[in-house]
Structure formats: structure tokens, C-alpha cells
Amino acid sequence: MSKSFLSIENLTQRYPDGQGGELTVFENASFTVEEGEFVCILGHSGCGKSTIMNILAGLAEPTSGAVIMDGQEVSGPSLDRGVVFQNYSLLPWLSTLANVTFGVAARHPKWSRAEVREHSLKYLEMVGLKGDVVHRKPSQLSGGMRQRVSIARAFANHPKLLLLDEPFGALDALTRGTIQDELLKIWRGSNQTVFMITHDIDEAILLADRILLMTNGPYARVAESVEITIPRPRNRTAIVEHPNYYAIRNHLVQFLGIRSRELAGQPADGGMQRPARVHIDLTAEGEAEEAEPEPSGARTPPALRAVNI
């Protein structure tokens, strides 16, 4: 599995529970992400998604386990892993443009000011921000515009891996829709590897190549990896017409509604917890759904069953 671009191996996170014991958030979580892939991770609150994100970003240390990106173990934050935080994390004393040049100048210390500025403006324009808006302070922007700035800052740096931590969680549904479209547009031309946390099933289906499903904590794990068998370019109004859309959606809803709870709280017993691969494609001849557990010593998820569609 070391050939994968990003490989998460036996990641375990435990916290003291305040009563002398330990709380295991997740144990031996293992999964991989390929280069250029857009992967979403779905799960209930408290299952450790954000912790995984922080570990990938290098902002937190796992209790044990390793993250290997491009053949190198991740330790500490790096410009190779860009992060878009849920609360935008723009620096409020800088203008919109300066918030982006801040990142670009850090990435390219040798560029001239004009180069940095031009590059930043190009990315701001990609997310629809141009003209006077770029000189405004973040406090003078709407939530949607702020998140656009944050996305522009992240993409402008061409990180090897882009981490999005519920980027649209604080936005209203209509704004969320437009920014999702912009994110897809900017991603399409970039071959950027993206790992994104979300709570929103439809958002995940629209954006992702693959969705990782997490069970509830404690002892949460990445139980399934669901391929999104809907061709790109996708469009929010058109994908609902695709025969696979509701099949996939139903599978995800079932998982989050029922099985995420049934599968929760089971210690790993030292086994490597790899997600079962789920491939749902009604357009193909033959089987409607196949679930193949990963080979080579991976533990078969105890309660995985075929969903009748």
C-alpha cells in the first residue's frame, strides 16, 4: 500500500478521559488516498474526523500510527499540506488580497512583490473576487466571500494535499451551492489531491471521487470507502437524474442512520482497520452492489451487509 500517494497507517488517538482512564477516539484507522483524488470523509460529530484532519495537517500528533505522504512521513505542519478551516481563519487586520499574498509569499519567498500580487489576484478572480472587493477587510465580507478567500489562499499555494475542514459548514444552503460549484471548477483544472470533511451527504456526492464513512466513536473507524460512480463533470441539478445517485445516497443515509451506530465501540484488537470498498453502479451489467473487503490481513467489518436496492 506504500505506493499510494497518501497512506494513513494504524492511526490511533487516545485522550485521558479525566477520570484516570483513557478515551479511544479511533484505533488503527488505515486508509489511502491517490494523487489527484477528491476524497470526502463523512461521519457523525465526535467520531474524530477533525482529529484526523489535524493530524494530516501536522497540527496534532496521533497517539500512535503514521501518515505517509509521497513516501515521507508527515511530522509537523508544512506548506505541502494546505488547510481551509471551517471558520475561514483569515487574518482580520489584513485586506482580502493581503490574506492571499501572505500565503503566496510564504510559499514562494523568492518571488517579487508584483509576481506574488499577480498570482494572488489570479486565484481570487477564480473564486469570483475581483475589483474593489480584494481591498476590503474580511470583516466587511459575507461568510461566503470569506470562505472564497480562504479557498483562494489554499489553492494559490498548490499544496500537494489540500485539507478542507467542513469548509461550507457555516454557510447558508444557497451560498454553499455556489461555492461548491466554484470549488469544483477550480479543482477540475488543478489535479489537486483533496481531503475534505463534511456533514452533508449531497455535498459529498457532488464533490467526491470517493467517500470514506466513519462509525461513531469511541473506537470509531473508517468502515467503508464508497466510490462515487457518477461521471464528471458533475452538475448539481444533473447528477440527481443519474441512476446511481439515489442508490449511493441511500447507502450513505443507511450507514449514517443505522450502521454507524451498530459498528461503533468495537476495539480493533490490534488489527489494521481498513475500510471495505463499496462500489455501487446500476449502469453496469451484473451485480448491483459489490462490497469487497480489502485483502491481506484486513479485518472483515463485522456487520457489513448488502443493501437491497
Partner 1 sequence: MDKLSLNQRAALLSIVMLVVGLLVWELSIPAQKAVGELTEYERLTGGGAPKAGVPPPSQVLAKAWEQLSNPFYDAGPNDKGIGIQIGYSIYRVLTGYLMAALVAIPLGFLIGMSPVAYRALNPFIQVLRPISPLAWMPLALFIIQDSEASAIFVIFICSIWPMLINTAFGVAGVRKDWVNVARTHELGPLKTAFTVILPAAAPTIVTGMRISIGIAWLVIVAAEMLVGGTGIGYYVWNEWNNLDLTSVIFSILMIGVVGMLLDAAFGQLQRAVAYAE
Query: Could you list the residues that contact partner 1 (CB under 8 A)?
Result: 57-59, 76-79, 81-83, 85, 87, 89, 91-94, 102-103, 106-107, 137, 139
CB of 103 to partner 1, least distance (A): 6
Q: How far is the CB of 117 from partner 1 (least distance, A)?
A: 17
Nearer to partner 1, 163 or 204 (CB): 163
Name the residue among 276, 157, 220 with its Cα closest to residue 11.
220
**Radius of gyration (C-alpha) of the chain in whole angstroms:** 20
Nearer to partner 1, 163 or 206 (CB): 163
Other Cβ atoms closer than 10 A to 94:
14
Contact 224, 278 (CB under 8 A): yes
b/e map of 16-26 (b: 16 or more CB within 10 Å)? eeeeeeeebbb
What values do phi and psi take at 117, rounded to 5? -65, -45
**Least Å from the CB of residue 133 to partner 1:** 16
Give the count of beta carbons closer than 10 Å to the beta carbon of residue 71. Answer: 9
For β-strands 276-280 and 289-292, DSSP reports them as antiparallel
Dihedral angle of Cα 100, 5, 32, 107, to the nearest 10 degrees: -20
Least distance to partner 1 from the beta carbon of 95, Å?
11
CB of 96 to partner 1, least distance (A): 13
Of 80 and 181, which has the nearer Cβ to partner 1?
Answer: 80
Closer CB to partner 1, 77 or 231, in the complex: 77
Pick 85 or 246: Cβ nearer partner 1: 85
